[in-house]
Amino acid sequence: MMDYEKSLQSTGTLQRVVKLNTLSSNNPGLVDGIMYGIVIGKVELRIFEGSDRHQRSVLNFTFRDSIKDFINVAYWLPPKDLMIISSKFTIGDVVALHYPTVKPKLDDKANNYTPWTPLSFELSLNEKSYMEKVEGPKAKQYELLASVPCRAGHDYYTLTQVVTHGEQLIKKTNGINVLAGVQQIGTLKTIRTRRQRETDYDNEEKQLLEILLFDGETSGVWLTFWDSEQIKFAQRWIPEEHIIFCISVRVRYDEYKKVYGLTATRNSLFTVNPDTNESVQLYESMRSIPIDDLLNVAVDGGFNTLQAVIVTIKELKQYIFNGDSNDTFIVQCFLSHFDLDGPLNQVITKKCIFCNRSIRDNNGIIKCTEAECRMKLLEQTSDDNLTTKDGFNLNVHLTDHTGTITNVKLGDDIARKMLKCSVDEFILMSDEEKTKLKWTYLLEKIRFGIQIKNSANYTKPVIRIACLFSREYLPSSINDE
């Protein structure tokens, strides 16, 4: 039996509350009542010219009123009126729909541009309908639905599968589901589109937002948003706190970054911190691993992954030769020279305890020559008067299918993270143990973040490893859907 309550309209008349599970595509037409639910998806309105040469517009959003039931809604109004209505609600808001119309679902081609829903019909709103945002106690029961995913908790691909099997997954035109954590939210960019996109905004200036995703095994996968409503929603996500269940996102190959990533489309939905066992396990896994181990082992202020250019060794050498302004790169390669078991003075260096710079032996005296460090040394009150510490400092060679680059600096921070040992522990290792440790990494494929630094003290740019990405193990296969 239907509930009854007072309408929020000025008439003060009683309206019955209608639930989605009471409606059917076999009984299309006007719903005589009010429907409450939460907006779980929304895309920016589209404006086009109607058959009568008057502009029309439609606003599409996805509405949910129970764990099982959610549906697509199309609101049709003149552009000026619809823009006002659209500005009053966003994804995650609870709304009331007055007098919607039930319509059978459109054909499969049309459904490619709206999210999948479990019901055989959709709702339409027009000039005779009314919609409003709901707050307070009435909204609380529907806000709980925000954490209920729109697919089974185990129905997703991992980021490792996206990275390693992107060529297969890119063929899934309906998109894939992904469960991942938010690593970093990029800066909102404005660009001019140059090719056809599903958002129908060719040759227009558009905004895009890139979100860096990670999980317990893989990091460095970008999720790109082109839709302004989805962008506003994604900008509210909190790095390292929010797990996102991404529904129907497209796998794409980024020609600029030369890596597979994800793109949100008009039929994508996103659940923040979904109430599933898989989400809880992922969150606990990520919280147990230091964030530096997952992505950025930062030096000198950090490595900005979103601004880095993904290159081959040949392209990296060309960038250096050309003296281009970009100084951060990502390269997937292997270590072809990693002399851990060589002379100790080629692996470990003395560093100033104050400025952390490497110190050269000056006629048997090993002290920092910086005036500020010498002053700090004079101010020391302890008896030991320590001025130096030991740190890793190696020159390595990086190789891929396009070539080799030599004399790449592998500094103390990255080396300790990579070798998983301190300098003191390394010094105590036998030659056999050092050789075994070397072959753990030699000729193994690894993704590095590279920084190029120009200095007046050097005739050539200094090339060094500034970021160590987590190892990505290849799954044996991906089952076709």
Q: What is the pLDDT of residues 277-313, one digit of tens each?
A: 999 888 887 766 544 444 433 333 456 665 678 899 9
Look at residue 295 in the predicted model and tell me its pLDDT.
41
In this predicted structure, the answer to whether residue 262 has a pLDDT above a threshold of 60 is yes
Return the percentage of the chain with pLDDT > 90, whole number.
43
Look at residue 391 in the predicted model and tell me its pLDDT.
86
Q: Based on the number of CB atoms within 10 Å of its own CB, is 297 exposed (0-12), middle (13-18) or buried (19 or more)?
A: buried
Percent helix, strand and coil across the chain, each to the nearest 5: 20, 35, 40
Looking up tokens 């193994």 gives 444
Q: What is the pLDDT of residues 157-171, one digit of tens each?
A: 998 888 888 889 999
Look at residue 360 in the predicted model and tell me its pLDDT.
59
Cα–Cα distance, 265 to 343 (Å, whole number) = 55
* Higher-scoring residue by pLDDT: 459, 340: 340
Who's near 153: CB < 8 A, 6+ residues apart? 274, 276, 277, 278, 279
Query: Nearest Cα to 180, choosing from 301, 279, 257?
Result: 279
* Higher-scoring residue by pLDDT: 99, 417: 99
Look at residue 297 in the predicted model and tell me its pLDDT.
35
Cα–Cα distance, 31 to 324 (Å, whole number) = 63
Q: What is the DSSP string of 39-53?
A: EEEE---EEEE-TTS
- Give CA separation, 308 vs 36, 257, 302, 330, 410, in Å: 45, 8, 12, 6, 18
Cα–Cα distance, 312 to 299 (Å, whole number) = 22
Reported confidence tier of residue 8, pLDDT bands at 50, 70, 90 = very low
Task: Look up residue 91 and give its amino acid.
Answer: I
* Token output for 107: 């054909």
Look at residue 31 in the predicted model and tell me its pLDDT.
92
Q: Quick check: 223 and 210 in contact, CB under 8 A? A: yes
In this predicted structure, the answer to whether residue 460 has a pLDDT above a threshold of 50 is yes
- This prediction has a pTM of 0.62
Look at residue 125 in the predicted model and tell me its pLDDT.
96
Q: Quick check: 249 and 223 in contact, CB under 8 A? A: yes
Tell how many helices (H) and how many strands (E) occur in the chain: 13, 26
* Token output for 396: 């390595």
Look at residue 195 in the predicted model and tell me its pLDDT.
53
In this predicted structure, the answer to whether residue 382 has a pLDDT above a threshold of 70 is no
Looking up tokens 């060529």 gives 167
Q: What is the mean pLDDT of the chain?
A: 81
Task: Look up residue 209 and give its amino acid.
Answer: L
CB count within 10 Å of CB 462 equals 14
Q: Where are the beta strands (DSSP E) in 348-429?
A: 348-352, 388-392, 394-400, 403-410
In this predicted structure, the answer to whether residue 477 has a pLDDT above a threshold of 50 is no
Q: What is the pLDDT of residues 411-424, one digit of tens each?
A: 887 888 888 888 88
In this predicted structure, the answer to whether residue 220 has a pLDDT above a threshold of 50 is yes
Instruction: Identify the three-state secondary structure at position 445.
Output: strand
Cα–Cα distance, 160 to 474 (Å, whole number) = 7
Q: What is the pLDDT of residues 44-54, one digit of tens each?
A: 999 987 766 78
* Higher-scoring residue by pLDDT: 175, 474: 175
Look at residue 473 in the predicted model and tell me its pLDDT.
31
In this predicted structure, the answer to whether residue 203 has a pLDDT above a threshold of 80 is no
Q: Quick check: 402 and 315 in contact, CB under 8 A? A: yes
Reported confidence tier of residue 246, pLDDT bands at 50, 70, 90 = very high
Strands 70-77, 55-64: parallel, antiparallel or unpaired by DSSP? antiparallel
Residues forming beta bridges with residue 132, ordered by sequence position:
96
Look at residue 202 in the predicted model and tell me its pLDDT.
54
Q: Quick check: 296 and 174 in contact, CB under 8 A? A: no
Cα–Cα distance, 278 to 114 (Å, whole number) = 26
Cα–Cα distance, 286 to 376 (Å, whole number) = 40
Look at residue 288 in the predicted model and tell me its pLDDT.
62
C-alpha Rg value of the chain to the nearest Å:
29
Q: What is the pLDDT of residues 443-452, one digit of tens each?
A: 888 888 898 8
Query: Nearest Cα to 453, choosing from 445, 444, 462, 443?
Result: 462
Instruction: Write down all domains in the chain, each with its CATH number in brackets.
Output: 13-137 (2.40.50.140), 159-194+204-288 (2.40.50.140), 291-347+393-469 (2.40.50.140)
- Give CA separation, 357 vs 9, 301, 362, 458, in Å: 71, 15, 15, 15
Backbone angles phi, psi at 257, to 5 degrees: -90, -15
Cα–Cα distance, 206 to 481 (Å, whole number) = 33
Cα–Cα distance, 343 to 445 (Å, whole number) = 25
Q: What is the dihedral of CA 118, 121, 127, 128, to 10 degrees?
A: -110
Reported confidence tier of residue 481, pLDDT bands at 50, 70, 90 = very low
Q: What is the pLDDT of residues 17-76, one digit of tens each?
A: 999 999 988 888 999 899 999 999 999 999 987 766 788 899 999 999 999 999 999 999
Cα–Cα distance, 21 to 24 (Å, whole number) = 8
